[in-house]
Amino acid sequence: MAKSDALYVKILRAPSFGATIVSLDTKAAEAMKGVRVVREGDFVAVAAEKTRDATKALAAIKAEWREISHPAQKDLFAILRGTAPTPSVAIGEKMCKVSYQCEYIAHVPLEPRAAFAEWDGKKLTVYTGTQRPFAVRDEVCAATGLTAKQVRVIVPDTGSGYGGKHSGEAAVEAARVAKALGKAVKLVWTRQEEFTWAYLRPAGVVEISSGMDAHGKVTDWTQDNYNSGPSAVETPYAVPTKRSQFHAAPSPLRQGSYRSLAACFNTFARETHMDELASIAGQDALRFRLANLTDDRMKAVLRAVAEKIGWPGKPAKGHGFGIACGEEKSSYVATAVEIEVIGKEVKVLRAIIAYECGAIVNPDLLNNQVVGGMIMGLGGALFEAIEFANGRISSDHLSSYRVPRYQDIPAIECILLDRKDIPSVGAGETPILSIAPAIGNAIFNATGQRLRSMPLKLP
């Protein structure tokens, strides 16, 4: 069958996570011309020659669901921590024990999940946008009972994924329908389905306890990450006594990979904490970091952004400067920003980012990756947060989920440090790390208010 002759598929979605079907009436849908209905347990799909016909058929199905209870969003961080998080206050002149939080956020790819599947009676071919075609093949095999030799997954030109398309939800759904009907089928998720049924970047709690001597040298450091992950949980600063640990936790929502994994949140917590220590010590935030670093590569990116932005600067009223750095997958990044605070609104005016990933092979592509990663990080820093209640995602449209817009983008300068003496490493993830803590530190510089949760919201 040609792709143009394929049937269009719509999936019956549960009203909340974990709901199961009690009763189902598909008679009205099946009576519609050209409509086919597939049911396998709680998996129910309709297929038709036109999308609008499939949509009408789906609306005609009457289903009664058994729903289960779900935790409230207000209890999220206590659930992840296992108890109420440590109060976010500094204690003592030379000690600091603070808790940081991060909400779930969505990947928001321009292209939602989609798949074309065709079953010829012996072999199943699935076209889908995925970052892991062999893993998707295994998922299709598990769902259909076919062997790996019977399933082929083809990845055409694909829209963005950001770690969100590792799994093959749409591919599996299309494959099940194609095999059941013996027809080629097309399935494209709506934006609402993408927000609701795709996995999210994990929410998390990070608790840091630290101490320093009378000269501002950090002497001990303990960092515990609950749920969001172990990436970049180790501090790059030269601390004599240190311990960093990741603790798995039960997640109320489905979660998975995201650009930089947990390194983004671990870096936010650490770099915010370093700013807190600098403030307690009465030292400049840049000088304090450099004094506690022995890694020359990290020092280089920090000095590059500081020089470019004119650190420490003299901010105008309502303005603030902030700086932060990070390291992940053997590449280094630092960001310095100038922000303006008007009421409760934060506007990033300038952002300087320095990046070093060894020898540079293609500076134009590298520049695009670095700037793109930083802009993506603006969303998690200032706006993005999944809202949920009673097992339902309420922020399930772009009208209710805020991503960076053109007017949010600051004047950006990108500094690429080319180290021909060091082998090249990847640059797709690390650039996102340092924008959020830099903004948070700039907000403190402008207002005196220390924000410890992502996204950064002024009270």
pLDDT exceeds cutoff 90 at 19: yes
**Interatomic CA distance for residues 414 and 434, integer angstroms:** 13
Place of tokens 């928001």: 108
Residue 230 amino acid letter: P
**Interatomic CA distance for residues 352 and 16, integer angstroms:** 43
- From residue 239, how far is each of 29, 198, 269, 289 by CA, in Å? 66, 40, 16, 12
pLDDT of residue 90: 55
**Interatomic CA distance for residues 125 and 138, integer angstroms:** 13
**Interatomic CA distance for residues 178 and 435, integer angstroms:** 45
Which strand ranges, in their side-by-side order, compose the sheet holding 43-48? 36-40, 43-48, 7-11, 185-188, 114-119, 124-128, 151-154
Q: Is the dihedral of CA 190, 195, 196, 201 positive or negative?
A: positive
In tens, the pLDDT along 228-239 reads 999 999 999 999
Structural tokens at position 314: 């003299």
Phi, psi dihedral angles at 348 (to 5 degrees): -85, 115
pLDDT exceeds cutoff 70 at 117: yes
DSSP states of 347-410: EEEEEEEEEE-SS-S-HHHHHHHHHHHHHHHHHHHHT----EETTEES--STTTS----GGG--
pLDDT of residue 1: 42
Lowest mean pLDDT segment, chosen from 3-7, 30-34, 90-94, 384-388: 90-94
**Interatomic CA distance for residues 6 and 24, integer angstroms:** 26
Mean pLDDT value of segment 186-204: 98
pTM for this one? 0.94
